[in-house]
Amino acid sequence: MSNTDNKSELEYFKEKEENLASSESASASSSHQSSLDSGDENVGRGNWSGRLDFLLSCIGYAVGLGNIWRFPYLCYQSGGGAFLIPYVIFLILCGMPLFFLEVSYGQFASLSPITVWKISPLFKGVGYGMVIISGIVCVYYNIIITWTIYFLYHSFKAVLPWSTCDNSWNTEKCYVRGKSDLTNGTNGYNVSNVNTTNLFNSSDVAVTFTGLTSNVSKLNTSDRVTASEEFWQREILQITDGIEDLGSIRLELLICLAVAWIVVFLCLCKGVKSSGRVVYVTATFPYLVLTILFIRGVTLPGAGAGIYFYLVPEWEKLLTFKVWGDAAVQIFYSVGMAWGGLITMASYNKFNNNCYRDAMMVPLINCGTSVFAGLVIFSILGFMSHETGVDITKVVTQGPGLTFVAYPEAVAKLPVSPLWAFLFFLMLFSVGLDTQFGMFETMTSAFIDEFPTLLRKRKVLFTAFLCFIEFLLGIPCIMQGGIYVLQIMDWYCAVFSMMLLSLTECVVIGWIYGADRFYKDIELMIGYQPCLWWKICWMVITPVTIICIWLFSVTQLSPVTYGDYKYPDVAIAIGWMLGLVSLLPVPLCALIAILGEQGSLIERIKKLVHHSDDWGPAVEKHRARYLQSLQDSSPHVYLDSVVCTPLVESKDNAASQLS
């Protein structure tokens, strides 16, 4: 197409837009409001149905199990209230800039993580890497939901099975903490085999309960095991001696796993149209339960001591490098960057949605939820410490050891304990389901956008197919030795790849696409440009911060373990391959793209780093404004990228779209 044709095309769209604007309100803000109030503007792909769908989906996606079972322990261990200082600093330097970046370019292009890399086709492998990470995590995240469903089932019993030693799976070593020595033999506590590794922080070595003994007992009781731990190890997991012996499939867990995937399918079978309705319950219900548990917790004896241990500042710990590193890693994993979920959910926004406002709110809500969850957890643990006489420092832990051993044990000591257990595990189910929605929708939307002709009309069937594949991949994790498989996946799959993917997208948009150009794209969406701070973050501060976090994570990484069990070299090698598989698409897709172009190597790379011809807003009336902004910024330069014909077959069709 010639320069003159490009100019006439732009003038045509400009004229049509002016005519359209004259028939509507002269106010730009009311124009944005009108767009938001109408139905789907992206007819082929669809949009969120309600105003709060996107916001609640992002909150539910960002607020995951790590907020409940990782942050409280980390805050207590790293200086209490003083830990919030580095936590908030890294939220501002890394968490919020990356969140804003991803929701902005996802909303601007209305594309999911793979196809959105029309912005710079050479780096399309970054999108594939995000989808691979989400796919792997979906497999074992639903195992966590499976365990939760099994606990929910047992919560309907009048006597919680983890509160007594009278069950078929209990051994002579079992005891109920808090009972007299005449009943239990002693008050020892050993949960050295409980996996307490954080789901989103695979770089941390598992923290274990070992040799916790009663203050009143002088006997050697290191081999005693609490009833809650035996329920976890011998009834839920039925754990084997190692990954070399996976044992048989746990039929009860297989049924729960099937239920979990059926729920995911029913909620996502129609994409955001169905999940957008579900999140009104799943994203808000955890806050209701947390509030109820908090009110109940703070009224219990010993709750004040528990909260004191949680929040009392230890300023001297701020002088240690590990505290700052842990805060940075926690922010990175908890907000949800580089999983592809934020890009996917933002891609279903209407073009003029205020993504800037949303990007400020969600990380702050996520941070506040983490702190609030800690108050709930430590108030109950303080009560258990008071009831049993065991120091709270010997009770607190993180990960599944907290949610499936320590906290259920504490809940079992409450009056009407089945009710509180039911509420707690229903909350965990809701929290896990929301995060699962975001990761699974990332996969389905990515492939449907990449192959729209084949898959868009078969979305329900394709969703069912992916659910079935993920169900099959999860079966090894619900075998008797499945916890060892899950531990490898958790330990390696996202330990360093997510940070490198985030670094790449930050550099590409900040430097190659250009922060100035990106600011103008944001202005097209929300009507104004954000402050200079975000541009500085994307170009300098955030990339440097990511590099530092990555180096810290790599230096802290050690070979995978589970309690005292050490994995064989073959299993460790498989873990490393699992960690690298999400990075392989980056060079592979770049190589394929280069080989598919013509010209010298330099010419091919120059072409591929710049956005493709059809990059830009999906809806024609917004695309016309985008093309006009390109002309205004470079009035003497006309590129093929401003051609509108890939989106509209003729000017008459374009005019009908505008009207």
**Got the DSSP string for 111-123?**
--TTGGGGGSGGG
- pLDDT for residue 485 is more than 60: yes
Q: Which residue has the higher pLDDT, 36 or 394?
A: 394
- pLDDT for residue 255 is more than 60: yes
Beta bridge partners of 498: none
- pLDDT for residue 216 is more than 60: no
pLDDT at 77: 86
Q: How confident is the model at residue 191 (pLDDT cuts 50, 70, 90)?
A: very low
pLDDT at 363: 96
- pLDDT for residue 106 is more than 50: yes
H helices present in 82-240, as ranges: 84-90, 96-109, 124-154, 181-184, 227-230
Angle at 31 between CA 29 and CA 37, to 5 degrees: 105
pLDDT at 237: 95
As a whole number, mean pLDDT of residues 475-496 equals 92
User: Helix 3-22 to helix 620-633 angle, to the nearest 10 degrees?
Assistant: 120
Q: Which residue has the higher pLDDT, 555 or 260?
A: 260
Provide the percentage of residues in the chain whose pLDDT is more than 90: 69
Beta bridge partners of 565: 562
Provide the percentage of residues in the chain whose pLDDT is more than 70: 83
Two tokens, residue 140: 């074992």
Q: How confident is the model at residue 635 (pLDDT cuts 50, 70, 90)?
A: low
d(CA 284, CA 544): 35
**Residue 421, CA distances (Å) to 57, 371, 384, 412 in order:** 26, 21, 15, 7
Q: Which residue has the higher pLDDT, 17 or 588?
A: 588
What pLDDT digit, counting tens, does each position of 311-327 carry? 889 999 999 988 999 99
- pLDDT for residue 88 is more than 70: yes
Asked which of 19-28, 277-286, 564-573 is least confident by mean pLDDT, the reply is 19-28
- pLDDT for residue 338 is more than 70: yes
pLDDT at 367: 94
pLDDT at 76: 87
As a whole number, mean pLDDT of residues 512-534 equals 96
pLDDT at 7: 46
- pLDDT for residue 10 is more than 70: no
pLDDT at 221: 44
pLDDT at 218: 34
Buried b (16+ CB within 10 A) or exposed e, 207-245: bbbeebbbeeeeeebeebbbbbbbbbbbbbbbbbeebee
As a whole number, mean pLDDT of residues 582-604 equals 96
Residue among 482, 476, 441 at smallest CA distance from 462: 441
Two tokens, residue 61: 């996606």
- pLDDT for residue 16 is more than 90: no
pLDDT at 530: 96
- pLDDT for residue 222 is more than 80: no
Asked which of 237-241, 335-339, 426-430 is least confident by mean pLDDT, the reply is 335-339
Q: Which residue has the higher pLDDT, 181 or 364?
A: 364
pLDDT at 93: 95
As a whole number, mean pLDDT of residues 395-407 equals 83
Residue among 160, 177, 131, 165 at smallest CA distance from 440: 131
pLDDT at 200: 39
Question: What average pLDDT does the structure give for the chain?
Answer: 85
Q: How confident is the model at residue 496 (pLDDT cuts 50, 70, 90)?
A: confident
**Residue 121, CA distances (Å) to 153, 590, 592 in order:** 49, 8, 11
pLDDT at 645: 37
Q: How confident is the model at residue 382 (pLDDT cuts 50, 70, 90)?
A: very high
What pLDDT digit, counting tens, does each position of 445-473 carry? 999 999 999 999 999 999 999 999 999 99
- pLDDT for residue 331 is more than 70: yes
Which residue type occupies 115? T
Q: Are strands 189-191 and 561-562 parallel, antiparallel or unpaired?
A: unpaired
- pLDDT for residue 656 is more than 80: no
As a whole number, mean pLDDT of residues 409-428 equals 94
d(CA 334, CA 1): 47
Q: How confident is the model at residue 197 (pLDDT cuts 50, 70, 90)?
A: very low
pLDDT at 15: 53
Q: How confident is the model at residue 177 (pLDDT cuts 50, 70, 90)?
A: confident
Q: How confident is the model at residue 394 (pLDDT cuts 50, 70, 90)?
A: confident
Name, in order, each residue with C-beta under 8 angstroms of 456's C-beta and a sequence gap of 6 or more: 44, 448
Residue among 46, 41, 459, 37 at smallest CA distance from 272: 46
Taken in order 382, 387, 393, 398, the sign of the CA dihedral is negative
Q: How confident is the model at residue 400 (pLDDT cuts 50, 70, 90)?
A: confident
Q: Which residue has the higher pLDDT, 2 or 142?
A: 142
Two tokens, residue 230: 């035996």
pLDDT at 631: 85
Q: Which residue has the higher pLDDT, 329 or 515?
A: 515
- pLDDT for residue 207 is more than 70: no
With beta carbons less than 8 A apart as the criterion, state whether 304 and 382 touch.
Answer: yes
